[in-house]
Amino acid sequence: MAIGTRQLGDLTVSAQGLGCMGMSQSYGAGDESESIATIHRALDLGVTLLDTANVYGSGANEELVGRAIADRRDRVVLATKFGIVRDADGNQAARGDRAYVRQCVEESLRRLGVDHIDLYYQHRVDPDTPIEETVGALVELISEGRIRHYGLSECGAETVRRAHAVHPPAAVQSEWSLWTRDIEDAVAPTCAELGIGVVPFSPLGRGFLTGSITSAGQLGEGDMRRGLPRFSAENLDANLAIVEALRAIADRRGVTAGQLALAWVQGRGEHVVPIPGTKRRSYLEQNVAAASLELTGDELAEIEAAAPASAVAGDRYPEHLQRTVGR
């Protein structure tokens, strides 16, 4: 099951990565033993890019990833993030000032138990700090050997251009799937033009495009999807129709609906490296198999007809979170 490699700028990574967030938060209870086994299995399958962030599990996810890779650091392209801050009431904002960047990298290095981070993203753009200041701080960290490359996440195309003018980012990470295609308007074309990699997170629509979620009642207490408009009772039936249409195409190809949806993202370009998240080896293996699934022109046309962006019911986020993306 050879997964191959792709380029994020001048950084070589596996053609598919592993998102580790769900091992520590958002999608129900975690299982550290199975999560670490999943990371080890990913490395054995040729997945090198592991993605975490300082806010996942309030630092617990970085610590988990650090434990998992402690004896195999040389096999990992390690990505983490800084920049999301929350107040005592849980309200989300962003910081990107130089002092905060430096504080965060030291904390992440300690939690991860490593001496450098391969790809360090600004998780959300700080509207009160010029992107030039943030990138300047990241360039200092590159020169000091604390990080090797930097990236941006959930930003707008103009921010990408301004950041690139200071120092080229290796990658831009944003949500991108058959039911989240905002990036296609300006950000993805800008990245292609400037030679910047794109790292789609939630390429399976937070699990919905696998067909495993058929009612909101399946989502347990504490599952973040309970608060997302697309999973609400009033939108679920319309979105399930998309999944059923994808499943019909997938059945003819002998794959799952999730593998079909992931292969669609994988095929967006050689500079595109999706990071489907999972905390179980069985799902990891299904995802990795999708990396080598090539879709025909007819299949792509059929997928587009089955899952047009206009058919998706509900916004990505509730309004207070939607305001933090695309800056």
Active site residues: 56
99: left (phi > 0), else alpha (psi -120 to 50), else beta?
alpha
Question: If residue 306 lies in a helix (H) or strand (E), which one and from where to where?
Answer: helix 297-306
Both tokens of residue 300?
Answer: 């792509």
Cβ contacts of residue 308 below 8 Å, gap of 6+?
none
Which position has the token pair 């991860």?
Answer: 112
Is residue 284 a contact partner of residue 38, using CB atoms and an 8 Å limit?
Answer: yes
β-pairing, 11-14 with 5-8? antiparallel
Both tokens of residue 134?
Answer: 């943030």
DSSP string, 225-293: GGGSGGGSHHHHHHHHHHHHHHHHHHHHHTS-HHHHHHHHHHTT-TTB----B-SSHHHHHHHHHHTT-
Is residue 41 a contact partner of residue 10, using CB atoms and an 8 Å limit?
Answer: no
Both tokens of residue 210?
Answer: 């696998």
Terminus-to-terminus CA distance in the chain, angstroms? 39
CA-to-CA distance for 40 and 72, rounded, in angstroms?
9
